[in-house]
């Protein structure tokens, strides 16, 4: 089963990269539809600000260790999702990096996951979803989510560099095609959740589909005008 999942994931590598590249205009356009001046988004922005303030006040080695742990845990999370047994997670003592081992060959999704998937945000969203089954949503929770959004942005920016060993494994061409759209998609999904919970996430995905369709029709009309 694990081998079949790996082959299925590998089969979709380039189609997904092309989709993310083609959808990039839609992801950018989608931010226009968010009502960013509401209190929920102001609280989210406050949480992001708190993260960057605390980041500058924290010890660099502690911050680096947390990023490495989160990085390896994201690898492990996607390894488990694709039915690979994780056998080891190790963080180097000199803050130089970490290592995660699992059974099986693996796939590109495991390799690239830490560079677009906000693991802490995801579990925060799950926590908020559980909490709101027993109590109403409040701005403090929006602020907490914003804190982890800031962490995700900072982590992605800091770990994409020429010395990163994961990126050559999937190919730089793939990274250029996939990562910008994937990260905007994740941020848009979080913003949608911040507004309307999981219902907002589904509405956001529908919006992206509509924008892609509109952009496709516009492109066809533009190209047709030359003939």
pLDDT averaged per 10 residues in sequence order, the chain, 227 residues: 88 96 96 93 96 82 79 93 88 68 89 95 96 92 96 89 84 95 97 95 97 93 80
Helices (H) and strands (E) in the chain, counts: 10, 2
Instruction: Report the 10 Å Cβ neighbour count for 82.
Output: 18
Q: What is the pLDDT of residue 222?
A: 82
By residue count, the chain amounts to 227
Alpha-carbon distance of 199 to 194, in angstroms, equals: 10
In 3D, which of 24, 46, 17 has the Cα closest to residue 184? 24
Q: What is the pLDDT of residue 162?
A: 74
């Amino acid at each position: 089963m694990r081998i079949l999942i790996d082959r299925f994931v590998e089969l979709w590598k380039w189609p997904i990269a092309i989709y993310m590249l083609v959808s990039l205009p839609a992801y950018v356009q989608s931010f226009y539809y968010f009502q960013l001046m509401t209190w929920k988004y102001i609280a989210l922005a406050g949480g992001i600000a708190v993260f960057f303030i605390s980041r500058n006040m924290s010890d660099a080695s502690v911050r680096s260790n947390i990023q490495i742990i989160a990085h390896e845990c994201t690898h492990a999370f996607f390894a488990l999702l694709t039915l690979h047994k994780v056998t080891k997670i190790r963080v180097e003592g000199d803050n130089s990096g970490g290592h995660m081992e699992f059974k099986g060959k693996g796939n590109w999704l495991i390799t690239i996951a830490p560079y677009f998937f906000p693991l802490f945000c995801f579990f925060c969203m799950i926590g908020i979803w559980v909490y709101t089954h027993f109590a109403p949503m409040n701005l403090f929770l929006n602020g907490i989510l914003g804190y982890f959004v800031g962490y995700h942005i900072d982590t992605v920016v800091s770990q994409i560099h020429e010395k990163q060993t994961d990126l050559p494994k999937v190919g730089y061409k793939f990274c250029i095609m996939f990562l910008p759209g994937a990260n905007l998609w994740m941020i848009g999904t979080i913003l949608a959740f911040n507004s309307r919970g999981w219902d907002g996430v589904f509405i956001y995905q529908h919006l992206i589909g509509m924008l892609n369709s509109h952009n496709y029709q516009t492109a066809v009309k533009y190209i047709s005008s030359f003939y």
